[in-house]
Amino acid sequence: MSERKKITLPDLFKKVEQGKPITMLTCYDYPTAYFQEEAGIDMILVGDSLGMTMLGYDGTLPVTMNDMIRHTQAVRRGAPTAWLIGDMPYMSYQISVEEAIRNAGRFMAEAHTDAVKLEGGAEMADRVDGIAAAGIPVMGHLGLTPQSVSSLGGFRLQGKGALQAKKILDDAKALEKAGAYAVLLELVPDRVCQLITERANDCIIISLGSGPLAHGQLLIYHDMFGLYPKFKPRMAKVYGNAGEVILDGLKRYAEEVQEEVFPAQEHYFGMKDKEFEELLEMLD
Ligand code: KIV
């Protein structure tokens, strides 16, 4: 287990001040969290994308608070020092400020997160304000917001036109003013991301497919390692094809069992002759 000290909000702002990019990844389970902690990743998001990557749904809407809490608890056990963010699932914060605070509180109390994330701009400012006033750090999420994919017209670049880009800039400011400590920009043009980063006073800007000019970068873990066979977004860099390695191993295992190559002697345990003979006698 790593010797790292617990990452705090002042640590993250210090990195921003020093111009050191923040690393952030999604994570949904204990073994992956263990590796991300060992690799020294600063921020871990337990995204509601687990609906697709872990539960096999087509989107994020069916994901419940209980799904999120269960996975977040496992991630916290594997990554005790990372800055851990729980992603608020569909309808856990949209209905009212009270619901938003209650569910954000569940992440903190039951899964020991450091923060929560929710999607939406100025229209969510009262939720952000309420959660932040309850003492819970909250990250906003703008650009491509998967919970609204139906109204956004699909998984595509947001803010290409000046008018839509201006709205994203205004939304980022509204979230910051409401008390968001960070804003994630997903799939917006690099220059829009740059403008938002330059205009942020007290807010950490994280880019997901929005270019290098942010305070930090996020990737979806499953995209990095070829673990989500249905789809590979262009913004994802593949650092290794674990999916291929796993599939190859599974096929070899199936073959070796059929051909009686597995198990070999080193994979099981024997018994002393004397004990075995005694056993046979008992059976007679
Ligand atoms: O659920 C998730 O993983 C997310 C990312 C797409 C940012 O919200």
Which of 243, 245, 224, 251 is closest to 235 using CA atoms?
Answer: 224
Sorted by sequence, the CB contacts under 8 Å of residue 240 that are 6+ apart come out as 224, 225, 226
Q: Residue 146 Cα, ligand 1 centroid: separation in angstroms?
A: 8
Q: Respond yes or no: is residue 186 known to be catalytic.
A: yes
Contact indicator for 21, 207 with CB cutoff of 8 Å: no
State residue 19's pLDDT score: 98
How confident is the model at residue 1, as a pLDDT? 62
Best residue among 27, 29, 43, 49 to mutate for probing ligand 1, ranked by most atoms within 8 Å of CB: 49
Per-residue pLDDT reduced to its tens digit, 31-45: 999 999 999 999 999
What are the structural domains of the chain? 9-240 (3.20.20.60), 245-283 (no CATH)
Cα(230) to centroid(ligand 1), Å: 16
- Given this model, what pLDDT does residue 150 score? 81
Global confidence as pTM: 0.95
Residue nearest to atom 2 of ligand 1 (CA): 47
CA distance 219 to 8: 21
User: Residue 86 phi/psi, 5° resolution?
Assistant: -95, 130
Rounded Cα gap, residues 270 and 279, in angstroms? 14
Copy the structure tokens of residue 284: 């007679």
CB-based contact 45:87 (threshold 8 Å) = yes
Q: Which mutation among 186, 193, 219 tests ligand 1's pocket best, with the greatest number of atoms within 8 A of CB?
A: 186
Strand partners, 119: 141
* Spans in the chain with pLDDT lower than 70: 1-2
Catalytic site residue from 3, 98, 186, 266 = 186
- 53 CA distance to ligand 1 middle (Å): 11
